[in-house]
């Protein structure tokens, strides 16, 4: 069995774990209109297989994060990956929307394990500046999935049935699963006590003012990004009548902005403070939201341009905000990591439901969401700066 050895291998491994969840969503996006047409049902009904995937995923993040603090990262990780693999194959066998939604929910449950545990492993293994750089480099690799997945999904639709998208997800995740067998446990001290009592330890997170405030505030920036995932086929394919291939290219370019942002973060942290980088990024998100409201309905390229700005700023801020949140805790790392992703996906799922609702002016409604959430973060920013100063003191 191959064992992970150096720092580069670990970062690549953690990035692969983090790609399981976006792989299950982004590759599937171009197929939503196709599935609706093949079963002669409304597109928004098929979208429930995406929204409910996120709901089950978010809820189970809390479960797997805490269990990994008691039983270790590796057994929980392998269990989640096994569930994901089985559910992916079963999604490909669905004969109606009810079956597809059910197996997508199970798939979301399995995807929660690698999503929560990859962050916990990073927190276990790295500290200080090394952790910030690790999160940034993981973000660079992670962004490749949103770039390539919709294009792969679109190409599969050109030559095969949509069911092959789920088979492809399964086979790609199989490689990550095999690597996971070579991962050596990184948790220092496992929690003891009854498993049900361990879940009560979430109260320590709730009572941690710095952790809860940082998580609640910075997590809002992810809302419009996840809203775009669900809204993108609506705006590009249904509203602007673009082909699935053009949609894939536009989605991939937007995802490349996330990768560029994470890469820029690795360079900016050498020159500027975290406070300066995060402040500029939040202001950039506000500007992008205002641009979508004003210009998003004029042309699809205008919508794409301002959405790219938003994604770039999110890509820059995400490694630093994640490090800021996790720096507020010294124990229950799995629970803390799971709750971060849980909160992110609760906000994301809410925005996905809102952006796919039937609005008279859907682009304008999406723009409002994209503007309001970073505005809230900007208003809370003076308090967040105090937390950063206390962290650095």
Contact call for residues 148 and 254 (beta carbons, < 8 A): no
The pLDDT of residue 330 is: 77
195: number of Cβ within 10 Å? 11
The pLDDT of residue 285 is: 96
d(CA 188, CA 140): 28
d(CA 229, CA 213): 26
Structure tokens at 80: 């989640």
Compute φ and ψ for 27, nearest 5 degrees.
Answer: -65, -25
User: Alpha carbon of 311 to those of 27, 110, 143: distances in Å?
Assistant: 18, 27, 11
Structure tokens at 371: 């503007």
Per-residue pLDDT of the chain (393 residues; tens, 9 = 90+): 556 666 777 888 888 888 888 888 878 888 888 888 889 888 878 888 888 887 888 788 778 877 887 788 888 899 999 999 999 999 999 999 999 999 999 999 999 999 888 878 887 877 777 777 777 777 777 667 766 777 788 888 888 888 999 999 999 899 889 888 878 777 777 766 666 666 666 777 778 888 888 889 999 998 998 899 889 888 998 899 998 778 878 888 888 898 889 889 888 988 998 889 999 999 999 999 999 999 999 999 999 999 999 999 998 998 888 888 888 877 777 777 778 877 887 888 789 889 888 888 999 999 999 999 999 999 988 887 776 666 555
Residue showing tokens 């429930």: 48
The yes/no answer on whether domain 7-182+192-392 falls in CATH 1.10.150.170 is no
| Packing angle of the helix pair 73-91, 43-71 (nearest 10 deg) | 160
Contact call for residues 153 and 248 (beta carbons, < 8 A): yes
Closest CA to 121 of 175, 173, 64, 178: 64
C-alpha angle 197-200-205 in degrees, rounded to nearest 5: 145
d(CA 321, CA 323): 5
On the 0-12 / 13-18 / 19+ scale of CB atoms within 10 A, 20 is buried
The pLDDT of residue 349 is: 78
Q: Where are the alpha helices (DSSP H) in 95-194?
A: 97-125, 128-142, 144-159, 163-180
């Amino acid at each position: 069995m191959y064992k992970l050895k150096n720092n580069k291998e670990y970062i690549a491994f953690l990035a692969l774990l983090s790609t399981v969840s976006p792989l299950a969503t982004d590759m599937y996006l171009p197929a939503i209109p196709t599935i609706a047409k093949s079963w002669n049902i409304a597109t928004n009904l098929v979208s429930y297989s995406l929204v409910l995937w996120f709901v089950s995923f978010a809820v189970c993040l809390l479960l797997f994060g805490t269990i990994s603090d008691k039983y270790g990262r590796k057994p929980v990780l392998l269990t989640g990956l096994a569930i994901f693999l089985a559910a992916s194959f079963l999604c490909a066998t669905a004969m109606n929307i009810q079956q597809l939604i059910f197996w997508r929910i199970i798939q979301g449950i399995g995807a929660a394990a690698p999503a929560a545990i990859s962050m916990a492993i990073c927190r276990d293994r790295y500290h200080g500046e090394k952790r910030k750089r690790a999160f940034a480099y993981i973000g660079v690799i992670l962004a490749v999935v949103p770039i390539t997945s919709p294009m792969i999904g679109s190409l599969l639709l050109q030559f095969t049935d949509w069911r092959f998208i789920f088979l492809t997800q399964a086979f790609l995740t199989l490689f990550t699963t095999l690597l996971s067998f070579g991962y050596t446990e990184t948790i220092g001290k496992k929690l003891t006590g009854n498993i049900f009592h361990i879940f009560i330890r979430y109260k320590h997170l709730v009572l941690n003012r710095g952790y809860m405030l940082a998580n609640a505030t910075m997590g809002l920036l992810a809302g419009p990004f996840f809203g775009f995932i669900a809204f993108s086929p609506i705006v590009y394919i249904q509203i602007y009548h673009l082909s699935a291939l053009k949609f894939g290219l536009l989605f991939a370019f937007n995802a490349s902005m996330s990768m560029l942002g994470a890469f820029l973060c690795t360079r900016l942290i050498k020159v500027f403070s975290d406070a300066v980088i995060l402040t500029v990024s939040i202001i950039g998100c506000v500007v992008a939201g205002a641009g979508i409201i004003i210009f998003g309905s004029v042309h699809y390229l205008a919508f794409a341009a301002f959405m790219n700005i938003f994604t770039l700023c999110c890509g820059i801020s995400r490694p630093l905000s994640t490090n800021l949140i996790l720096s507020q805790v010294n124990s229950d790392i799995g629970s803390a990591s799971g709750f971060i992703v849980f909160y992110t996906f609760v906000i994301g799922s809410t925005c996905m439901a809102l952006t796919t609702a039937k609005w008279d002016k859907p682009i304008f409604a999406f723009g409002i969401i994209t503007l309001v959430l970073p505005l809230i973060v900007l208003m809370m920013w003076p308090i967040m700066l105090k937390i950063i100063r206390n962290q650095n003191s």
